[in-house]
Amino acid sequence: MNVEHEHVLTDVTKVKEIFVNILSNAIKYTPSGGSVMISVDELPCDEPGYMIVRNRVSDTGIGMSQDYMTKIFDAFTREQNTTKSKIAGTGLGMSIVRKYVDLLGGTIDVESELGKGSTITVTLKHKIADESYYVKKHIEESGTGSEILEGRNILLAEDNDLNAEITEAILERAGIKTERVEDGIQCVNMIEKMPAGTYDMILMDIQMPKMNGYKATQAIRRLSDKDKACIPIIAMTANAFEEDKRDALAVGMNGHIAKPIELDKLLSMLAEVIRQQENC
């Protein structure tokens, strides 16, 4: 990383979505023993108060053909060697990346060679933030209540391996123990099987196979054991729309957090829900 201005004002959701897609592809298409390198460089900017960042993601993966690279940003297109090897994917990731890069006024460049890997370079211009704003924000957020989370046990219902790994890493840093299930049915079964009080809370993804997060929550709320039925449940969705929050609350969830997950927001919400539960 080679950045002079660490604090910027930007569309956090879109920027995170860009790099979640690029990095997940790099990891997915790089075989075991390969590597993924990320470099971040600040470039000169002629416009006062702004900075330009060049983000480069290079991998040693399977690479792409020159023919496919002309269609990489088209929706629902995938390289032939990825479908033959049965690597899962929808072909939407790079289409979304291109859309968001364009919306942010940036550029994206792709270099690749079959069997040798790929390099994707994204350049974005950001407004430099007033440093005093971040000093104030840090002071305000320093009391997120992380001490109340130490030693807690959370059941994580998440079908996506990468999302689960990220969430577990965030929770582990806060001293929280996690156990993961991969769909709503497994989540309900785990709550029914384990004694009440085993888990302090459930982090529930909404879009899951077999049984989604809404239906799983409704099933848990109908359990005959009231201690189990009242366990706090936080929804995790790919959207931060008001209707998603309303839907979560309507089925009996205690809160809602959007992906990609932000550390401070997640820990603050968990702490607040636990305080509310202890005060009941």
Both 90 and 214 in a single domain?
A: no
Point out the domain boundary residue: 94, 129, 164: 129
Q: Quote the CA–CA distance of 82 and 258 in Å, as a whole number.
A: 30
For Cα atoms 88, 94, 100, give the angle at the middle one, nearest 5 degrees. 140
Q: Which of 157, 198, 153, 210 is nearest to 176 (CA)?
A: 153
Q: For residue 118, tell me if it sits in a domain.
A: yes
Both 92 and 185 in a single domain?
A: no
The pLDDT of residue 120:
95
Q: For residue 85, tell me if it sits in a domain.
A: yes
Q: For residue 175, tell me if it sits in a domain.
A: yes
Q: For residue 52, tell me if it sits in a domain.
A: yes
Both 93 and 170 in a single domain?
A: no
Q: Which domain holds residue 93?
A: 8-129
Q: How many domains does the chain fold into?
A: 2
Both 42 and 156 in a single domain?
A: no
Which pTM was predicted? 0.51
Q: For residue 136, tell me if it sits in a domain.
A: no
Q: For residue 3, tell me if it sits in a domain.
A: no
The pLDDT of residue 231:
92
Both 162 and 111 in a single domain?
A: no
Kindly give, in sequence order, each residue whose CB lies less than 8 Å from that of residue 274, ignoring residues fewer than 6 positions away. 148, 149, 152, 200, 201, 232
Q: What is the CATH number of the domain that holds 265?
A: 3.40.50.2300
Q: What is the CATH number of the domain that holds 91?
A: 3.30.565.10
Q: Quote the CA–CA distance of 270 and 261 in Å, as a whole number.
A: 13
Say if residues 143 and 238 touch (Cβ distance below 8 Å).
Answer: no
The pLDDT of residue 133:
58
List residues bridging with 79 in a β-sheet: none
Q: Quote the CA–CA distance of 203 and 244 in Å, as a whole number.
A: 15
Point out the domain boundary residue: 129, 153, 177: 129
Q: For residue 179, tell me if it sits in a domain.
A: yes
Both 159 and 65 in a single domain?
A: no
Q: Cβ atoms within 10 A of the Cβ of 118, count?
A: 24
Q: Which pLDDT tens digits describe the chain residue by residue (280 residues)?
A: 999 888 888 998 899 999 999 999 899 889 999 999 999 999 989 999 999 999 999 999 999 888 877 788 875 464 554 444 445 444 457 888 999 999 999 999 999 999 899 999 999 999 998 766 555 554 445 444 567 788 889 999 999 888 888 888 888 887 889 999 999 999 999 999 999 989 999 999 988 889 998 999 999 999 999 899 999 999 988 766 677 778 888 888 888 888 877 777 888 888 888 877 765 5
Point out the domain boundary residue: 74, 105, 129: 129
